């Protein structure tokens, strides 16, 4: 049976937003596995995702300290419906990323990463798929906040989709 995936990173709660958007929580509820590529900032977000997700595969990022680093690894690996995943926060500069990641992760099919807040979807010459879902809370220089969904099915990753979140409505002046 196919496995529905949710890919998120760089949630930066509560510094960049007070909470995850409702659309992301809806995606958590539908997903069989949530992959989070670090920069949580808040332990409460980890607790909430652990409680709500059917399965969570996650790492800490460069902005995560203390309990987050105690509870999460630098690199997480999981085989999901025959697809071998690695999750990491940083992969370095975009220039040379494919070659660098192919050399560092020769035993996986998909590398999920974050850090830049810039969505990324490429496949290296060795067949490694590199996915960065962007950020659902901090778009930085991107036009939208984003996350990804995909399906793992009998050793094949399919239906990879980047989702753009609507702009947040600013609070009304009182």
Q: Rounded to whole angstroms, how far apart are CA atoms 12 and 161?
A: 22
Residue 72 falls inside a structural domain: yes
Residue 87 falls inside a structural domain: yes
Residue 109 falls inside a structural domain: yes
**What is the tally of structural domains in the chain?**
1
Task: Please report, in angstroms and rounded to a whole number, the separation of the first and last CA atoms in the chain.
Answer: 52
Residue 98 falls inside a structural domain: yes
Of the listed ranges 9-18, 22-31, 86-95, 115-124, the one predicted with least confidence: 9-18
Write down the pLDDT at residue 75: 98
Residue 170 falls inside a structural domain: no
* Bridging pattern class, strands 83-88 and 75-80: antiparallel
Cα torsion at 55, 153, 79, 124 (round to 10°)? -120
Which residues form the domain of 153? 3-164
CATH code of 151's domain = 3.60.21.10
Write down the pLDDT at residue 136: 97
Residue 173 falls inside a structural domain: no
pLDDT tens track for 52-109: 999 999 999 999 999 999 999 999 999 999 999 999 999 999 999 999 999 999 999 9
pTM value?
0.94
Residue 54 falls inside a structural domain: yes
What residue has token string 């969904």? 149
Residue 84 falls inside a structural domain: yes
């Amino acid at each position: 049976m196919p496995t529905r995936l949710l890919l998120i990173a760089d949630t930066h709660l509560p510094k960049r937003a007070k909470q995850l958007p409702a659309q992301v929580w809806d995606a958590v509820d539908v997903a069989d596995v949530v992959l989070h590529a670090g920069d949580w900032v808040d332990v409460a977000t980890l607790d909430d995702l652990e409680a709500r997700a059917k399965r969570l595969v996650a790492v800490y990022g460069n902005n995560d300290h203390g309990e987050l680093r105690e509870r999460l690894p630098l690199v997480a690996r999981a085989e999901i419906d025959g697809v071998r995943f690695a999750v990491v926060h940083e992969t370095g500069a975009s220039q040379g990323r494919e070659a660098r990641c192919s050399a560092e992760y020769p035993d996986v099919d998909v590398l999920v990463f974050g850090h830049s807040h810039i969505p990324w979807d490429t496949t290296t010459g060795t067949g490694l798929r590199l996915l960065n879902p962007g950020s659902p809370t901090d778009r930085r220089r991107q036009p939208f906040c984003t996350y990804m969904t995909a399906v793992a099915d009998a050793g094949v990753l399919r239906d990879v989709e980047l989702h753009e979140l609507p702009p947040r409505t600013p609070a009304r002046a009182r």
